[in-house]
């Protein structure tokens, strides 16, 4: 086989095709046709499609590379501290992501998981998120906990009235200027607020701890 | 140098086919320095988050993507292809054919990388790990790659001897498989994207395949050629080499799912990865046994290759250990994963490539390396740098993982506890950057001498191959 060029190439191709069909194709066969779950009790289906502004915000999230520090996948309650940290009461499942154009699962938790950030406790409103993205400081905290992203904001003179979404707290220092979120910041904030995987699908129900221990590989 | 290898020095195959190889190697080393600068910025941001974050081009996410992309597609691809073409040309026994195709392909490949990196910096990144290059440069990369690869495939099919050698297999596999891989990933992720979590699943497969089907074979092609040349001995346990080769190709790609443990994916994906991680260890053990002559041999090339070989093996063992759920519970999502990646890509692949380049360049130019002290400094800086880089990242990762599982520790506290180790990571990046700049300067000066003084004095040093090694060994 090593000497015969033809068979060697067939072998190479077979290696590629086996790898390709064993993961991408099999997974596609299993998950490619996943549908939303219709809940008779609530007369609606889940997950819901994100509003257009949030879908555009996901593109901002992607192009800034937020995925380098934030995951969006909650592990099961008995596997890690995800639930204890308030990131989500249940494990993330494949169905959560079917309407996301670019799922941002992530591989690094330099910062917290954001899968349910839109319903975090305590909740942050759009103005507080804007303040946070601009300064990198959570309101009330002293130290910078996030890189500030001032490029998502316009620093412009006040022309007539101060914009409704201008950052507060800066007016006293420079009354003639205002800092206003750009379009990208607004979509990013809408996206962050839309992150919510709270609905419990049948496959995502809590497993009783005793059963889970038995099933969990060591 | 043993006397058996001196024969190979007096060959016209190298001189007649040297420009495509030199162009590839020079581009690779250039990208390595650029990647080092980006990696340094990214590592500083880990302990000083405000560093350059006000500049949109250098958010941590973007600069990490720039570092990773220029490292893999800039450095490892160019240097690996250069070594693969050189090895195939030598083993083929005749001057490299289709050299113009290869040169033009290299120029367009690097043009594509340049445009792509600009795209990542300005916000066109795709956000897929290792496939960050924007959509618009992807087709260019496929075409340019095929143009570069033609020389290698022609050298293989037109070889003078019927038999083949391990270097052949690995080099041809890398040249042939990567376009398939890139086209498959582009189609399923960028042109006609699959839905939901299938995207990260397929990206995980692609990332692992880039390593197992492309980068590792490129690096091994050089190592399998250089080690017996220097030691002057047949490779021990060589009868297992074919099986080890096919193990890597068939099983290696299935280990990618280990990053998805506990994630929203079917459980068989990480489970398959766990089994595959242990199976593929056969490949790593055989490669180590085959090339173990490097560990006892002397000289610069073998020092790099020994380091690379041990790192290559250690990386695979760590991958196998962390593919268990119980271990991944701590190491997943932490700097430990970064440490593993750096161990494989920097410690393994890059060190093997360095070793091959230190051996190849004097043969290509017909003279020794310009500066022996630069060579020795690069060796020390690279080895210390990688030790420090991987070690500090691993310790930081273990601290981070332990603290993450304690729900009462805040992220601020975790940042505080990992900070000393992250500072060490930045120091390591500085050492590596200095070392790589030394190598680039040394490389360019060695090649420039060739351009300036012409071919007149080449014959002299060819007849005394031992003098070529004086500085480099």
Q: Could you tell me how far CA A156 lies from the centroid of its own chain?
A: 31
Confidence class for position A163, pLDDT limits 50, 70, 90: confident
Mutation target to probe the B interface, by most B beta carbons within 10 A, among A8, A64, A68 is: A68
The pLDDT of residue B9: 58
**A27–B198 CB contact, under 8 Å:** yes
Contact B384, B424 (CB under 8 A): no
DSSP readout, A32-93? TT--PEEETTTTEEESPPPPHHHHHHHHHHHHHTGGGT----PPPTTSSSTTTTTS-SS---
Q: What is the pLDDT of residue B14?
A: 78
Give the start-to-end residue ranges of the domains of chain B: 3-472
DSSP string, B423-472: HHHHHHHHHHHHHHHHHHHHHHHHHHHHHHHTTTTHHHHHH-HHHHHHHH
Task: Give residue-wise pLDDT tens across range B157-172.
Answer: 888 887 789 999 999 9
Q: How confident is the model at residue A136 (pLDDT cuts 50, 70, 90)?
A: confident
Distance of CA B267 to the CA centre of its chain: 31
Which of A105, A117, A150, A200 to mutate to test binding with chain B, by most B CBs within 10 Å of its CB? A105
Q: Which residues of A touch B260 (CB under 8 A)?
A: 105
| Residues of chain B contacting A21 with CB distance shorter than 8 Å | none
Q: Do A22 and B254 touch (CB under 8 A)?
A: yes
Q: pLDDT 10s per residue in chain B (473 long)?
A: 333 343 345 467 777 788 999 999 999 999 999 999 999 999 999 999 889 888 899 999 999 999 999 999 999 999 999 999 999 998 888 888 888 999 999 999 999 999 999 999 999 999 899 999 999 999 999 999 999 999 999 988 888 887 789 999 999 999 999 999 999 999 999 999 999 999 999 999 999 999 999 999 999 999 999 999 999 999 999 999 999 999 999 999 999 999 999 999 999 999 999 999 999 999 999 999 999 999 998 889 999 999 999 999 999 999 999 999 999 999 999 999 999 999 999 999 999 999 999 999 999 988 889 899 999 999 999 999 999 999 999 999 999 999 999 999 989 899 999 999 999 999 999 999 999 999 999 999 999 887 776 544 444 444 444 444 433 43
Residue of chain A nearest B51, judged by CA positions: A147
Three-class DSSP category at A189: helix
* CA-atom Rg of chain B in angstroms: 22
C-beta atoms of A3 and B163 within 8 A: yes
Cα separation, A150 vs A62, in Å, equals: 18
Indicate the pairing of strand A37-39 with strand A153-157: unpaired
A66/B198 Cβ within 8 A: no
Structure token digits, residue A109:
């938790």
Q: Which of residues 215-244 of B touch A (CB under 8 A)?
A: 242
Of B196, B209, B213, the CB nearest to A94: B196
Distance separating alpha carbons of residues B250 and A154, to the nearest angstrom: 53
On whether any CB of chain B is under 8 Å from the CB of A48, the answer is no
Put simply, whether B458 touches A (Cβ < 8 Å) is: no
Query: How many Å apart are CA B222 and CA B305, to the nearest integer?
Result: 10
Classify residue A111 by its DSSP letter.
Answer: S
Task: State the Cα–Cα distance between residues A110 and A156, nearest whole angstrom.
Answer: 33
B141 near A CB under 8 A: no
Burial of A72 (0-12, 13-18, 19+ CB in 10 A): buried
Residue B101, φ and ψ in degrees, nearest 5:
-60, -45
User: Residue B413 gets which letter from DSSP?
Assistant: H
Answer whether A8 sits within 8 Å of B172, measured CB to CB.
yes
- Structure confidence at residue B120 (pLDDT): 96
Q: Is B45 on the interface with A (CB under 8 A)?
A: yes
ipTM for the predicted complex comes to 0.90
Closest partner residue to A107 (CB to CB) among B45, B49, B337 is: B337
Please indicate if any CB of chain A lies within 8 Å of the CB of B202.
yes
Query: What domains sit in chain A, N to C, each tagged with a CATH number?
Result: 45-205 (1.10.760.10)
DSSP at B9: G
B101 reaches A (C-beta below 8 A): no
Question: In B, which residues are within 8 Å of A108 by CB distance?
Answer: 333-334, 337-338
CA dihedral defined by B61, B64, B66, B72, rounded to 10 degrees?
-140
CA dist., res. B179 & res. B169, Å (int): 17
Nearest partner of B316 among B293, B292, B348, B346, judged by Cα: B348
pLDDT at B108: 97
Shortest CB distance from B333 goes to which of A18, A20, A71?
A: A71
A25-37: pLDDT as tens digits: 999 999 989 999 9
Class level of CATH domain B3-472: mainly alpha
The structure tokens listed for A212 are 């889970």
Give the C-alpha separation, B317 to A131, whole Å.
46
Find the distance separating the first CA and the last CA of chain A, reported in whole Å: 41
Q: pLDDT at residue A177 above 90?
A: no
Whole-angstrom distance, CA of residue B388 vs CA of residue B434: 14
**Burial environment of residue A142 by CB neighbours within 10 A (0 to 12, 13 to 18, 19 or more):** exposed
Cβ-Cβ pairs closer than 8 A, A with B, add up to 218
Q: Does B57 touch chain A (CB under 8 A)?
A: no
Name residue A44's beta-bridge partners.
Answer: A39
| Nearest Cα residue to B362 out of B447, B439, B435 | B447
Q: Tokens 């130019």 appear where? A: B365
How far off is chain B from A194, nearest CA to CA, in Å?
Answer: 17
In degrees and rounded to multiples of 5, residue A61 shows phi and psi of: -55, -40
> Are the beta carbons of B62 and A145 separated by less than 8 Å?
no
Query: What is the rounded distance in angstroms from the CA atom of residue A31 to the CA atom of residue B108?
Result: 38
Q: Alpha-carbon distance A106 to B333, whole Å?
A: 8
């Amino acid at each position: 086989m090593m000497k015969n060029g033809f068979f060697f190439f067939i072998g190479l191709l077979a290696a590629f095709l086996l790898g390709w069909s064993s993961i991408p194709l099999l997974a596609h066969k299993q998950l490619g046709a996943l549908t939303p779950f219709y809940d008779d009790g609530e007369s609606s289906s889940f997950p819901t499609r994100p509003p257009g502004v949030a879908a555009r915000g996901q593109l901002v999230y992607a192009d800034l590379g937020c995925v380098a520090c934030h995951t969006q996948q909650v592990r099961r309650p008995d596997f890690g501290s995800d639930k204890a940290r308030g990131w989500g009461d249940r494990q993330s499942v494949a169905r959560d992501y079917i309407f996301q154009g670019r799922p941002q699962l992530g591989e690094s938790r330099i910062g917290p998981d954001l899968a349910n950030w839109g319903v975090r406790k305590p909740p942050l409103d759009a103005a507080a998120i804007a303040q946070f993205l601009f300064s990198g400081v959570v309101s009330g905290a002293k130290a910078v906990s996030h890189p500030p992203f001032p490029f998502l904001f316009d620093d412009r003179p006040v022309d007539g009235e101060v914009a409704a979404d201008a950052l507060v707290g800066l007016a006293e220092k420079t009354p003639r200027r205002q800092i206003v979120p750009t379009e990208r910041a607004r979509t990013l904030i809408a996206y962050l607020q839309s992150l919510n995987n709270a609905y419990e699908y049948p496959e995502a129900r809590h497993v009783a701890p005793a059963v889970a221990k038995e099933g969990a590989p060591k | 140098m043993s006397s058996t290898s001196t024969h190979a020095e007096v060959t016209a195959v190298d001189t007649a086919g040297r420009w495509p190889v030199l162009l590839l190697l020079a581009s690779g080393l250039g990208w390595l320095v650029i990647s080092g600068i980006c990696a340094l910025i990214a590592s500083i941001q880990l302990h000083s988050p405000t560093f350059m974050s006000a500049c949109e081009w250098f958010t941590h996410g973007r600069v990490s993507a720039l570092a990773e992309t220029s490292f893999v597609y800039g450095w490892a691809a160019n240097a690996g292809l250069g070594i693969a073409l050189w090895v195939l040309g030598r083993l083929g026994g005749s001057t490299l054919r289709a050299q113009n195709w290869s040169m033009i392909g290299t120029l367009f490949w690097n043009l594509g990388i340049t445009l792509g990196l600009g795209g990542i910096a300005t916000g066109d990144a795709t956000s897929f790990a290792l496939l960050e290059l924007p959509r618009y440069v992807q087709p260019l990369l496929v075409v340019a790659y095929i143009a570069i690869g033609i020389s290698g495939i022609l050298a293989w099919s037109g070889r003078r001897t019927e038999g083949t050698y391990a270097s052949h297999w690995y080099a041809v596999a890398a040249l042939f498989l990567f376009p398939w891989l890139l086209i498959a990933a582009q189609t399923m992720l960028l042109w006609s994207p699959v839905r939901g979590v299938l995207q990260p699943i397929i990206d995980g497969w692609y990332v692992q395949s880039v390593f197992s089907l492309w980068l590792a074979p490129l690096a091994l092609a050089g190592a399998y050629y250089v080690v017996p040349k220097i030691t002057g001995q047949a490779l021990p346990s060589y009868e297992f080499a074919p099986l080890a080769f096919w193990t890597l190709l068939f099983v290696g790609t299935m280990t990618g799912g280990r990053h998805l443990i506990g994630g929203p994916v079917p459980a068989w994906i990480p489970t398959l990865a766990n089994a595959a991680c242990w199976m593929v260890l056969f490949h790593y053990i055989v490669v180590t046994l085959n090339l173990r002559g490097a560990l006892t041999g002397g000289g610069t090339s073998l020092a790099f290759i020994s380091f690379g070989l041990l790192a290559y093996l250690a990386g695979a063992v760590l991958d196998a250990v962390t593919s268990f759920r119980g271990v991944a519970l701590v190491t997943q999502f932490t700097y430990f994963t970064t440490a593993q990646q750096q161990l494989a890509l920097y410690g393994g692949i890059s060190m093997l490539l360095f070793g091959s380049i230190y051996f190849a360049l004097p043969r290509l130019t017909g003279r020794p390396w310009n500066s022996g002290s630069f060579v020795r400094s690069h060796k020390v800086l690279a080895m210390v740098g990688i030790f420090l880089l991987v070690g500090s990242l691993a310790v930081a990762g273990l601290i981070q993982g332990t603290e993450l599982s304690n729900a009462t520790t805040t992220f601020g506290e975790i940042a505080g506890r990992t900070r000393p180790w992250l500072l060490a990571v930045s120091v390591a990046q500085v050492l590596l950057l200095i070392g790589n700049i030394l190598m680039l300067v040394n490389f360019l000066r060695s090649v420039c001498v060739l351009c300036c003084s012409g071919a007149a004095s080449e014959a002299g040093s060819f007849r005394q191959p031992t003098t070529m090694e004086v500085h480099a060994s």
